Amino acid sequence: MDTSAYSAFLGGHEGIKFSLQQAEEIIFNPVVLGELIAGFSLGKNEERNRAILEDFLSSPRVAVLDIDPETSERYAGILNFLRKRGTPVPTNDLWIAASAMQHGLKILTLDKHYLEIPHILADFHKPGERVEK
């Protein structure tokens, strides 16, 4: 799950909520946590937002992965591949992609640029998308 998906979930995005309901496991990368906490610290509701995040993370279906040397190798490979193609992707999202690649995970996101990264499965949702039940 990337930062855009978490934010969309809190905003009531139907597609993201549906994907999360179907997931056996929800994985966070420490980079996502950093982005969220940085955003919280700039807002008026930091304490409330942190409490909501802590509650979300306390679910037995939610885990936070470590970034390790293998993640770094995958990050470098993705970065160099995209540089050669001239396809920029935000640096933090490259770390999220590297972690997903390392662990064979699909990225739940509203950010279309993940679709540019080979060997990454992205569960891409459009902002405001509706889901038929």
Report residue 59's pLDDT band, with 50, 70 and 90 as the boundaries. very high
pLDDT at 86 > cutoff 80: yes
**pLDDT higher at 18 or 125:** 18
The overall pTM is greater than 0.85: yes
pLDDT value of position 133: 47
pLDDT at 31 over 50: yes
Spell out a b/e string for 23-47, using b for 16 or more CB atoms within 10 Å of the CB, else e: eeebbbbebbeebbeeebeeeeeee
In the CATH hierarchy, which top-level class contains the domain 3-124?
alpha beta
Rounded Cα distance between 115 and 106, Å, is 11
pLDDT for res 130: 58
Which pLDDT value is given to residue 48? 97
